[in-house]
Amino acid sequence: DYYSSYYGAKLTSAQVDAYRSNGTLANCTNVVEPCNPNEPRRINGTCNNLNNPTRGATRTPYYRLLDASFVKASDSVFNPRVSACTGASLAGARDLRRTLLVDGRVEDDKLTHAVTHMSVFFATDITNTQDTTNYVVWRPYCCKPEGANDPQCAPNLVPADDYVHRFTNIGCLNMTKPLTFQTSGCLAQTTTPLRIVDATPLFDLSPVYGNVDEPARRTKSGGELRIETIDGIMFPPTSGLNLLLGVNFIGIIFFWRFHNHIAKKIAEVNPCWTDEQIFQTAREINIASGSQILYYELMATLMGADNLIADGVLAEDQSTFRDPYDPTVIPQISLEYPAVLRWMHLMQDGALKFYDSKGTYLNNSFPMVNLTSNINFIKRNGNMAYITQGCFRQPTGKVNDAVVDPDLLNLGLGGLQRSNDILTNDLAKNRYFGFPPYVKYREFCSGEKVTSFEDLSSIMPYWAIDALKSKYSCFEDIDLLAGVWMESIIDNGYVPPTFYCIVKEQLLHNIKSDRHWYERADRPNAFSEGIYTKN
């Protein structure tokens, strides 16, 4: 059956024909096989919510925590906010970024690269790269004259006195606006732009299993995933598969191999099981392990286990099941969630350092940013083993100091674009998503109204407030991400308070909206109590 990907409703054959004849069938509809309440979690995410079968699939809408804020230049043109007090355009994204964050490498004294490796992996579970492909591949010309005629172009201008680019001839950084239901022809251009989720919006290890069914990932025997072996080391095969192996490679390789490890163990004790039975069970255990690592290890470290227990995200006692499922909560990602996750770019070290098994740094490293296009180097010369050591030995970049790795600020896409400032894009994109000002999110998170710049002194230092004041005419103008960048980190954790608040909302939303959530006893293929408590 065909469903509208935006509205989620089942379509009549006349409606399907109308989509087909205007060429939007693939973009604007989801095809859903009839749901069986007892079947396991589908790879394409459909039928998670039995009343709303498409929700949980790709090409479905984000939801907004707060209503959109755009300036309507005409019926169909939605521009970014302008200053609430002067009516002028806000300072350019690169100008703001270079004022608020500076280039440099400072190491953290507690967190290791495992944190950034796993975080980026779980980020790509719920987002994907279409918006980046748009300016790298489809519209590489936004800084050229032809870009002026393309309404999708939104390049970032570099100030003439830029600390880096005054020494280059680069005055413009290529970028495009987010792809939306409107740009895909699914909704009228007169409606408020809304981005499309291009991944399944639940934590289901989709970087490993795909966002749609891809039988080519499987061996078709013993429930295993295909692998290629190079010098005795197993890797996911990258040729012939629609597998986006990039900066998220550690997570993909880890969970890919873990799937096959689990499958082998299952086959040992269940010699009569079919390939399908073993595959589905191994996938189920792998996803549960991933969710456990994401919630109880990664997020517990970053956000503070006690904080998350108090907010109901983590169970205090995992010795029994819990059932947070609520079918009225729809499987969806908030538009704000991946936007504030980008704050973690502040924590990313640009050098991937190689260590031996004794912990000695081998004086060799690889630029992380080059992994956006090609990860072949990890397959050679035993590099994977050195990087695996680095995963738990190399410190991340320090946060809370406004210092960001120079590669992320100037070479974000490796060789794919001559210069790319990931954090400038982060800020610029947050304007094109139409987020209301930062102080509205402060009110949403704390329940208290912000009435001046000085009110922010309880969550950020004075130098940070001064930096914001130097670029924003009034406190109502501050962009969401600019405010989050400047906040001090919370007690018992490593993240700023507004990051905590928005990420916590999403973590709660996912456990409530996911019928297949692993902590539930009452779901298809639920774990037995014995297996569950062994986690």
Positions that interact with ligand HEM (CB under 6 A): 116, 119-120, 123, 127, 131-132, 247, 338, 341-342, 344-345, 348, 368-369, 372, 412-413, 422, 425, 429
Which CB, 348 or 388, lies closer to ligand HEM? 348
Least CB distance to ligand HEM at residue 28 (A): 20
Which CB, 333 or 456, lies closer to ligand HEM? 333
Least CB distance to ligand HEM at residue 209 (A): 19
Which CB, 147 or 338, lies closer to ligand HEM? 338
Least CB distance to ligand HEM at residue 335 (A): 9
Which CB, 45 or 338, lies closer to ligand HEM? 338
Which CB, 479 or 519, lies closer to ligand HEM? 479
Least CB distance to ligand HEM at residue 366 (A): 11
What whole-number distance in Å separates Cα of residue 443 and Cα of residue 501? Answer: 11
Output the CA–CA distances (angstroms, integers) from residue 72 to 88, 190, 191, 321, in the order listed: 14, 10, 11, 49
Closest CA to 507 of 342, 341, 318, 259: 341
DSSP 152: T
What whole-number distance in Å separates Cα of residue 300 and Cα of residue 226? Answer: 33
* Contact predicate 201/331, CB 8 Å: yes
* Contact predicate 196/59, CB 8 Å: yes
Least CB distance to ligand HEM at residue 285 (A): 25
What whole-number distance in Å separates Cα of residue 43 and Cα of residue 497? Answer: 34
Greatest alpha-carbon span in the chain: 73
Which CB, 114 or 278, lies closer to ligand HEM? 114
C-alpha count within 13 angstroms, C-beta hemisphere, residue 176:
23
Which CB, 53 or 397, lies closer to ligand HEM? 397
Which CB, 47 or 408, lies closer to ligand HEM? 408
Least CB distance to ligand HEM at residue 405 (A): 8
Least CB distance to ligand HEM at residue 267 (A): 35
* Contact predicate 422/408, CB 8 Å: yes
Which CB, 247 or 303, lies closer to ligand HEM? 247
Least CB distance to ligand HEM at residue 391 (A): 13
Chain-centroid distance, C-alpha 483: 19
What whole-number distance in Å separates Cα of residue 223 and Cα of residue 275? Answer: 4
Chain-centroid distance, C-alpha 168: 32
| Cα dihedral value 213, 218, 224, 230, nearest 10 | -130
| Residues β-bridged to residue 180 | 195
Least CB distance to ligand HEM at residue 348 (A): 5
Output the CA–CA distances (angstroms, integers) from residue 434 to 68, 159, 429, 447, in the order listed: 5, 24, 9, 22
* Contact predicate 446/438, CB 8 Å: no
